[in-house]
Amino acid sequence: MARVAAVVPAAGKGSRMGAKKAKQFMELAGKPLLSHTVSVLKRVAEIAEIIVVVPPGGEESAIKDCLLPFDLQSKCHVVPGGAERQDSVKNGLLKARELGADYVLIHDGARPLATPELFRKVYQKTLLHGAAIAAVPCFDTVKKAGENNLVETTLDRSRLWLVQTPQGFELDFLLEIIQKACDQGYYATDEAGLLEWAGKEVKLVPGERDNFKITTPEDLRLAQCIKGGLLLTRIGQGMDVHRLVKGRKLVLGGVLLDHDLGLDGHSDADVLTHAVMDALLAAAGLGDIGRWFPDNDPAFKGADSLELLARVCGELVKEGWRPQQISATLMAQKPKIAPHAEKMRGNLARATGLGVRDINVAATTTEGLGFVGRQEGMAAMATAVIQKINPV
């Protein structure tokens, strides 16, 4: 029985993405783009081995960041790439031959939306024809341009196809052609182009519109929509307690209340805002306010908690998150909170960049029970929902 391997070229720099990291390692719906691609390949029973080709020196980090966290390491092999895509594919093919493969399916690491069925269709046609590639008909009008981007002519779109991957080949046959091309200094933009150069036939297999290559920030945003990445959310909870003492101002949600007792603390002791900060930090996995604003740091003595909240939101943005919704409940026996709740919502909205409707502030007494009921202190609880920012 024929043995098939998949080779995943993922060694490019992704310069057209304009990002700090290569596009194949950027996040899509909660995990690296490359992880999505490998995950699809793992669902194709016909594929015996998966060879992932990454930038030289990046093998260990690819395994640690893209495979192990998602339990994708079985039957996966990571090898270093070369200077050009063709060199990287060649390295992958050599590994596939070492693993005893007869056929190979080559699939771009930056095409995470292909379905397992597409791989099966291309593989079946490869068995019949020796070489087969996924492609979709061109529905747009295509113009050929000359100098200064002036239109020269309109091409006949009825015979035009937009080529995708996977591309399937007999392994030894492709390896022979790719070696010959490299020796002669010929570099194609895809493996089918090498067969054309060698005068060989390639079968077209109807591809999938969603199987586009992620090349630009716009492509990544579209992929996020398809994968649900724009809706990727996390939820965090926060709680804070402060003692009531004489001689302190009472600040809640940034509102100064007229009361004979105030909350004790290193900063302004705004227990409501502190709970909100802790909820946001928890949602992003960034610890708590004690870590960010220690109570033994003179820099935060008497600090305005709304300003600290704005700083927390800035830290979230650095990590690729933004607040989406906040619900906070204050537990206090006195004074009455309801008359001030709307102003508190407005203050929290300005500090977080949210709309007032995205923030709820509620208050309750404890019916005279516990330290809150005895007016020894106040407590607050908050729940925060944060949303992933498109990583472009």
* Tokens representing residue 59 in the block: 């093998």
Going by pLDDT thresholds of 50, 70 and 90, the confidence category of residue 143 is very high
What residue has token string 């030289």? 56
What is the C-alpha separation between 63 and 81, in angstroms, rounded?
Answer: 15
Per-residue pLDDT tens over the stretch 44-56: 999 999 999 999 9
The pLDDT score that the predictor gives to residue 16 is 57
* Among 277, 275, 343, CA closest to 310: 277
Residue range(s) occupied by CATH 3.90.550.10 in the chain: 4-228
CA pair distance 122, 175, nearest whole angstrom: 19
For residues 349-375, give the mean pLDDT: 92
Binding-site residues for a divalent metal cation: 240, 242, 274
User: Per the annotation, where are the binding residues?
Assistant: 240-242, 266-267, 274, 288-290, 293-297, 364-367, 371, 374
Tally of CB atoms within 10 A around 301:
10
CATH code that applies to domain 4-228: 3.90.550.10
In this prediction, residue 175 carries a pLDDT of 96
Average pLDDT over the chain reads 92
CA distance 337 to 349: 18
Range(s) for CATH 3.30.1330.50 in the chain?
233-388
pLDDT beyond 60 at 19: no
Q: In what order do the strands lie in the sheet with 377-388?
A: 262-263, 233-245, 377-388, 321-331, 359-364
Residue 391 confidence (pLDDT): 44
- Lowest-pLDDT choice from 150-159, 229-238, 278-287, 359-368: 229-238
Query: How many whole angstroms separate alpha carbon 33 and alpha carbon 212?
Result: 13
Give CA angle at 360 (355, 364), nearest 5°. 160
* Burial (CB count <10 Å: 0-12, 13-18, 19+), residue 50: buried
Q: Examine the pLDDT at 392 and tell me if it is beyond 60.
A: no
Q: Is this structure's pTM higher than 0.85?
A: no
pLDDT grade, residue 370 (50/70/90)? very high
**pLDDT, position 132:** 98
> Per mean pLDDT, which range of 20-34, 179-193, 200-214, 333-347 is the poorest?
20-34
What is the average per-residue pLDDT within 382-390?
86
Q: Is the pLDDT of residue 14 over 60?
A: no
Side chain identity at residue 61, one-letter code = S
For position 161, what pLDDT does the model report?
A: 97
Q: How far is the first Cα of the chain from the last one, in angstroms, to the nearest whole number? A: 44
Are 283 and 236 within 8 A, CB to CB?
A: yes
Phi-psi region of 183 (alpha: psi -120 to 50; beta: other; left: phi over 0): alpha
Which residues on neighbouring strands pair with residue 362, listed in sequence order? 329
The CATH code that applies to domain 233-388 is 3.30.1330.50
